[in-house]
Structures are given as structure tokens and as C-alpha cells.
Structure 1
């Protein structure tokens, strides 16, 4: 509406009320010749009137409310001939609703307004269609040339006047273009864990335009019932427009075709890669030379020190069929996230997703000095900040495998670390095999009842958890043993008086025996305490 007031045919037009609604969109025009105009009013219309029908319209304030309820863009009135002024109540109602009431100049002819506004609307629509056609042509050319998501995003920034990216459903950036480093570091758009776009903070499609001065528009990339991600536009210092949504929907349709094509190819390749990695980790892939050559053909560099990482989704086991409310199986999204994060850090890494786990072979920092900082950084990046519906997962990290022949044993280590880590720390656990200590042995005992019996025999009442008094005494005992019976240090850590701790030690020895002088008893107590820590033994 504000743009329309700059046209010559509306020169001298005065805004009587509802100035806050001058951002309303005009798509059509109408002339009010009868008081009962409501049945013929359509959304986004500019309604012109001489004022003659208003003399018999009755409740004018009520008429204004009805017109606003039908989505009218504005009402333009010629005052002075049939109606001299509008009642204050009408003006207050229009101001409250944000419905512009305009006073036309006496010299304005309706046919001039109709002709000029309709011409301008048609020209704008033609420009939008031409822009959409250009985007469509560019995107079709990309597909025909075999281009991927990166090629699509490279073409769009100039056409859409902004930065464009394609992300996964939870916001991990698959391809982007037209975005500077300052924008990528802006926490209003991206989180601090690896640059994930905050999809959950922004509205989808045309609903984004409801915000004041919207700068971000995102539309889903859908193919049938599968949600493959988002196409996102961040404008360059301007508010997003309806045309942006229309063009992004075109781009999303093209992205869906590209992703579907790539997934079809990846499904075949992934099955082959998964089968070979399974054989490799089972020791059935052949000699080191054959394995290295075959892995090189798959883009995997295994002729170096490697660590095996096993990541398992917490909760129910993955299912090949999406759960209710999900458009893509959780284990597929999980594997895709790992692949994207790891490939950025280590292009020669192997990443394969199975229904129960994701297996990663990554290069080890320092040539055998441990799994390295970059492995944990990758885990943190996959976990992110919890946005976008991501689920927690347990991760196990093996020792460094110096040769391909060591990989099957390293895989077993990683699986054991993930399993024990989850039992000790719960959802989201990260455990390295070298840090498991005695838990490695405890986790291998198949008879849980026997292990429970051992803890009850050694710890007595302290083996039962849930009682505040027993839990407190067990904590005192564990801290004392961990500090090699150093009473002063244990008292400091537990914030006890020295004499209070001496009294507790006496009570514990009456319950458990003379552990302060019997090293064999101390050993049994320490093993039993570690067993109690195993979550599946609690209760």
C-alpha cells in the first residue's frame, strides 16, 4: 500500500487512519457502489468509494471490522460530495486494526487509479514470473549438467539477493554460497558446535513473512513422504518477500531431485561399502595389501594409524521404517551426520551406518599417541547443542590400530567401550577403551547374578543403593580407598572434620572388616565398588 501511494494517480492522498497497515499487499481493486459490499470483497483488495453507499451503511465501525476480517488491503474514499467526514469511532477502529483509510483528492478519477494500479500490479507479477522462470531455467541446467547441491547454491545468491544454503532436517549445512564468515559466526543463525543452522528458531515458508522485517526464509526439501532437509535464504539487508518464498520452493523441488538421485546412487554404493567394512572388521577381507588397495578404491585411507569409533543411538534400536512423526529413519539421519562431520576433518576416513550403529575409521593424532583430540571434537560436533530433534548416543573409542590386521580387534574394543560407557554414564556417554580399567573385566562377566552376589558378600549392606545413609557411607569408603587411605585428604574432599572421618572409618571396619590393614580386603572392596557403579547392577 505504501508503494501505491507514490503513484501519480494517488497524488495528494491523505492517510486518515490505519497508517500501521501500509505494508498490506494489494493484489486486486474493487469499487463500492452499494452498502452491502461484503459478499463481493476479496482479500488484498483496495476498495474505492465515493462515499455515497456509506450514508445508508449503518454501523460504519462494524463495517470496518468486517472489511478487515476479510483481509482488505485498504479503503480509499472521496470525501466532500456525499460524506464530509468519518466519525471518530471509525477512525479509532481503523487505527486499532491497522486497516488504512485513505482520503482521495477531489481531482482523482477512479479510472486513472484503476488503470495505473492494475498496470503496476500486472508488471510486478510479470517480473516475479520472469524471475521464477529464470531460476527454473538455471536449476534445470544444473540438473541436466549433473550438478549437485553445491552447484545449486552457487547459482542462487545473485538471483535471490542473499546467502543460500541447503541443510539437513536438523540444520547441518550440506552446501552454501553467498555467506561471509561474519554471518557464519553469528549465533543468531548458527550454533557454536560446528556451525549448525538453527532451523528450530525460524518459521517455514510464507509464515516467515509474518515476522517484522523477516530476513530468513526456509522451505522443506520433500520427496514423497521423506524430509531431506531445508533450503534457506538469508537476505542481504532487506526484508524477505512472498516472491522469495515462491523461488525457494522451486529451488527446494530441484534440491529434492538432486538428493533423491544421490541417495539412490549412495544406497547401492553404501550397501557395497557396508558389506566390505563388515568383512574387514570380521577379519574376512584378506591380506593387508589387498585390503589397502580395495579401501583406496573406496576413498578410504587405512595405511596409517587409525582409531575405530562406534556410535550407537540411545533408546530403542534403529528401525528401517520411520517412526510416527518422523519422515526419515533416525539411523539414516544419524549416519549422514557422522559422515558429513568426519569427512570435513578427515577426507580419507571410512564412515558406514548400520541399523544398530555407525562405525568410523579415523586417522589417529600423533601416530599412535592415542585417539586424539579431533575424534572427540567430531563427537561433540555430531552431538551439537541438542537442537533439531537430534537424539543422544553412546560412543566408544578403540586403541590405535597400527595395521589393517589390527582393525577387527580395535572394533571389538570400541564396541565394548560404548557398551560399558552407557552402563556407567547413561545416555550420551563417551568412553575410550584405555580408560575402562577394571570395568573391562567386569563387563565380560556373563553371570550378572554372580557379580551381584560378590558385591553383596564384600560390601554387605553397602551393596544396596537407594538409602541415603548407605549411599553416604559407600561414598566415604570409595573416596578413602581412591586416596590410598589418606585420612586428611579424604576429609578435605568430603568436607568432614578429621575426627568425624575417623569415626566413620571405625564404623566401616566394623561392618566390612579391617580394610585399613588388609590389602586383599581393600582390593575386594575396590572391585565391588566398581561393580556397584555399573548401572545395570543398581536397584
Structure 2
């Protein structure tokens, strides 16, 4: 936006001292911006021309050089000069036709100055306008920066920043925070076509972006400024004006607000991290404390907006890389991003909750009724995290320190065991584990493998070497309460084939199917085999 710090060529023509000056060429370029003034009295001035320079000359240096006259305007235009003013009737009688044609072709302002005007007065009048404009711009910039800085220092939030910005620039405003997953639009009620523009993803924009849009005959100007912190995009500021263009001051205001929004994003990120650390310390103390401290912990929990005296259920989220490429940013690890999304959901729906992001996963405590009486919430929470591969373990609802500990253990077991039973990416309730919760609760995986190998190892070896199906037959045989006829029907086999296989099983593992204890051991081993097979696939 630096080019707007100058003054347009058409505006200098309104200054009284330019009253007798005449535009002889390049009328279409009168909107070019003058940021500096230069005087040409030597033929080799071109290397010293800067973009935005407006050139005054008597043409003395090139009065007898037609070729130099012909290439002057194309060369000035190429270097980004804003215009050329020639004082005629001194060293050249009139401005040559070929210079006028070049000015018209390049939309490069060419102005004829009357012989009596003084260069120093012309230059002074232009520079005064530029300096005044820059001073006004600087004053406005400082005022805006101070206004929004005061707002932040006084605890102002993103929505208050958006409201103040809207009042200043009289436009629709959207502030996007990619780090903390916040989006504020002001005013809240706005036309659908404006909302559709705010819902677009602008993560690819790395610099000031301005576009004109026409929707059903209405002209919109959209301006997007990315919020960049240490080379990373943290969000953006977008403003939309209707049936007009943004002024220099409004664009400056938007630019200044970007740094203020960046401060708010970083502040919110730090608040979240500190809050999570305090909550994590509280939860660790709670899970390791004796029950007789319950009253103290009930009061402490209320400072976090949580009441452990009520029935609470534990949800533990395991969040693994999945489809995170759909996500807008990569600055944070996926657990932190997921935790912010869950927190925002709970706040938005005014839920009583307690959330911690630690080594165990993302741990969320919710009132039991919300979890078990309304499956909708669980589905919404999982859908919220569809960027990633998410497994959720859910414990039963209990109250008090003892209950919180129990629910936490159940949720942890549901997560650890359930993903091997049912596969990862599921919502697993502890109550759905059934007998598996007892089998796997306090036993080492290696010990379970040894037990399964002792009970079923010979059958696995036989099936592998002989390409047999003894394990499959045993599974069905146990499911039918050791009934050979029913097993044959279920497996679509001849009765004698099943009988042969059952006898082979007896021979290999020495089992007596008339002994209830031995049958129970086989049933347990078969169930554990299924769990361990899933475990092997996921590790």
C-alpha cells in the first residue's frame, strides 16, 4: 500500500499554481501516484529515476536530440515514473507530436507548463501536499494503533476488535484465528453473499490482496490481509465494502489491526497453555489423592467450572494423524488443535466440563447425563475431529474422588482394550467390553500370549503345516456348547468331518470337553486370541 502515500497526478492539477498548466497527453494515466519530484536538466537522468517520480524539465538537455526526445517517455514509463511536465517556449517551441503520441499510447501524463511558472514553487507545492498527506496518514495510523492497543490492554477480545474495526471503516469484517480456531464476523447479521465470501479459505494468501466483485449488479470490494508471525500464517483480516472503494486511511487501519489481532491470537494461545498446565496439575493431584480430601477437591474443582460431587463420565481421546491436510494450519501438534476444537465446542454449547491435554491423551469430563442420555453429543464431538484418526474411550459416570478415579480407569481401559477388540477409530464404552474388561484389566500382554500359546499353540501349528481349520472348528464347536451336529450345520460340513476334527483337537491339546473348567479355559483362550490378533495388526 506504499504507493498510496503520495498524491495523484490529477490532484496536483487542482493546486492553484498549476491552474495554467495543460495536459497534452496520457490523460488515461492521471491516476498515477506521485511520491517524489525530480528535475531533468541532463540527458543521462534515467539511471536516477525512481518509481513514483514526477519529472520537471525545460528539455534543454535534449532540445537538439530527436531520438532522445522519442525514447524519453517510454523509458520514464518503464522505470515507473508518474508523469512528465515540460516548460515549452524556452528551448523547444512546442512539445513534439511524437512525444504526445507516446504519452497517449502508454497512458503516461504529459503536461505543458507555461513559461512564466517557477519550478521551485511547483515542486514545493507538490512536496507540501505529499508531506501533509503522509503526516495525516501517520497521525491516523498512530491513533488507530493506540485505540486498538488500549482495547487489548483493557482485556478486549476478538469480537470487540471486530466491532471497533467495523465502526472505523464502515464495512463488513471477518477476523480469522487459525491457531485457536476462532472466527469473528461483524456485524453478526449479514447477507448470504457476504457470508459466502467470509467462509472461503485464504491460507494461500501471503500478502495484501484486493479484489473487486460484482454480485447481481452490486459492486463489492474485498480486502484480505494475512496475519503473519515468524513466517507462519496465523490467520487473516478481511473487510468488504459495498458500492465503494476503501480509502487510504481505511486500508491503513486494516493493516494496523493485523498486528493487534496477532497479539490477541498469541495471548489466547498462551492463556490456553497456562490453563491446561494448571488443570493437568489439578487432575494429577485428584487422581493420586486419598478420598478423605474430597471436600477440598470439590471446592477446587469449582474454580475450573467443574463439580466432581456430581456424576461425571470420563472421555479419553486418542488423536492420530489422518486427514489433517484438510486443516488450515500446521503450527501446532494435532493434539493441541483437537483439544482447542473440543474446548470451543463445550464453551459454545455451554456445557459443564473439564478438559486436559496430557500424555494420556485428551481427557474430557462431562456430566453423565450428557454422555449416556444423548448420543448426539458423542457423535458431534467425534465429527468435530474428522481431520484426524480418533478413538474415544468412555468410562461410566460416577461422583466424588473415588468415582472420578474409577471412571478415568474405565475410560483408559476402554480405549486401550477397545481399539484391539473393535479396531481404532471407534467410540468405545467401558460397559461394552463385557468379559474382556476382566480378562485384560490387570494382566500383562506377554502373559496373555503365553496362556494362549499353551492352550492353542498345537492347533495353530497344525493348521499352519496342514492348511487345516481346527481353530475355526473349535470356535464354532464352543459356540454351539460342544454339539457336533450343530457345528456341522453351521460350518456346512459332514457330521463325520467335524467329529474327526474334534477328536484331532482332543489329541493335540489333551482337552476333555466334558470337563467344564477345561472348556472354560479354551473359551477364554479363543477370545484372547481374537484380541491379540487385533493387537498384532495395530502394532
How would you bin the TM-score normalised by the shorter chain? 0.5 to 0.7
Name the SS of the counterpart of 1:534 in structure 2.
helix
1:311 matched to 2:314? The reply is no
Distance 1:377 1:58, change over 3 A: farther
1:276 matched to 2:289? The reply is no
**Aligned equivalent of 2:445:** 446
Distance in structure 2 (CA, Å) of the matches to 1:424 and 1:212: 56
Name the SS of the counterpart of 1:200 in structure 2.
coil
1:414 matched to 2:422? The reply is no
> RMSD value over aligned CA atoms?
5.6
Distance 1:49 1:176, change over 3 A: same
Higher mean C-alpha deviation, range 156-165 or range 77-86: 77-86
Write out aligned runs for 1:372-451 (5 A): 372-381=375-384, 383=385, 386=387, 392=388, 394-404=390-400, 405-419=402-416, 430-434=427-431, 446-447=445-446, 449-450=449-450
Distance in structure 2 (CA, Å) of the matches to 1:66 and 1:460: 88
Q: Once the two structures are superposed, what CA deviation does each residue of 1:478-536 show, in whole Å capped at 9, x if it has no partner? A: xxx9xx99xxxxxxxxxxxxxxxx9x9669x9899989xx9999989995895487263
**Aligned equivalent of 2:45:** 37
Residues 51 and 79, structure 2, Cα contact 8 Å, conserved in 1: yes
1:186 matched to 2:195? The reply is yes
In structure 1, runs of 5+ residues without a counterpart are: 95-99, 192-197, 317-324, 387-391, 465-469, 486-501
Task: Quote how far apart the aligned CAs of 1:344 are.
Answer: 1.6
Out of 360, 364, 367, which is 1:363 matched to?
367
Distance in structure 2 (CA, Å) of the matches to 1:60 and 1:456: 100
**Aligned equivalent of 2:97:** 84
Write out aligned runs for 1:160-239 (5 A): 160-164=169-173, 166-170=175-179, 172-173=181-182, 177-182=186-191, 186-190=195-199, 198-201=201-204, 203-204=205-206, 207-209=207-209, 215-220=222-227, 222=229, 229-230=234-235, 232-237=237-242
1:536 matched to 2:536? The reply is yes
Task: Quote how far apart the aligned CAs of 1:446 are.
Answer: 0.8
Distance in structure 1 (CA, Å) of the matches to 2:154 and 2:165: 16
Distance in structure 2 (CA, Å) of the matches to 1:402 and 1:334: 26
Query: When the two structures are superposed, what TM-score results if normalisation uses the length of structure 1?
Result: 0.65
Residues 414 and 433, structure 1, Cα contact 8 Å, conserved in 2: yes
Distance 1:132 1:144, change over 3 A: same
Distance in structure 2 (CA, Å) of the matches to 1:46 and 1:122: 15
Distance 1:54 1:160, change over 3 A: farther
Name the SS of the counterpart of 1:311 in structure 2.
strand
In structure 2, runs of 5+ residues without a counterpart are: 214-220, 323-328, 481-488, 506-512, 514-518
Distance in structure 2 (CA, Å) of the matches to 1:463 and 1:73: 86
Higher mean C-alpha deviation, range 454-463 or range 441-450: 454-463
1:297 matched to 2:303? The reply is yes
Structure holding more strand per residue: 2
Query: When the two structures are superposed, what TM-score results if normalisation uses the length of structure 2?
Result: 0.65
Residues 312 and 365, structure 2, Cα contact 8 Å, conserved in 1: yes
Residues 168 and 174, structure 1, Cα contact 8 Å, conserved in 2: yes
- The count of aligned residue pairs is 473
Distance 1:354 1:536, change over 3 A: same
Distance 1:72 1:105, change over 3 A: closer
Residues 211 and 223, structure 2, Cα contact 8 Å, conserved in 1: no
Distance in structure 2 (CA, Å) of the matches to 1:505 and 1:525: 25
Residues 73 and 99, structure 2, Cα contact 8 Å, conserved in 1: no
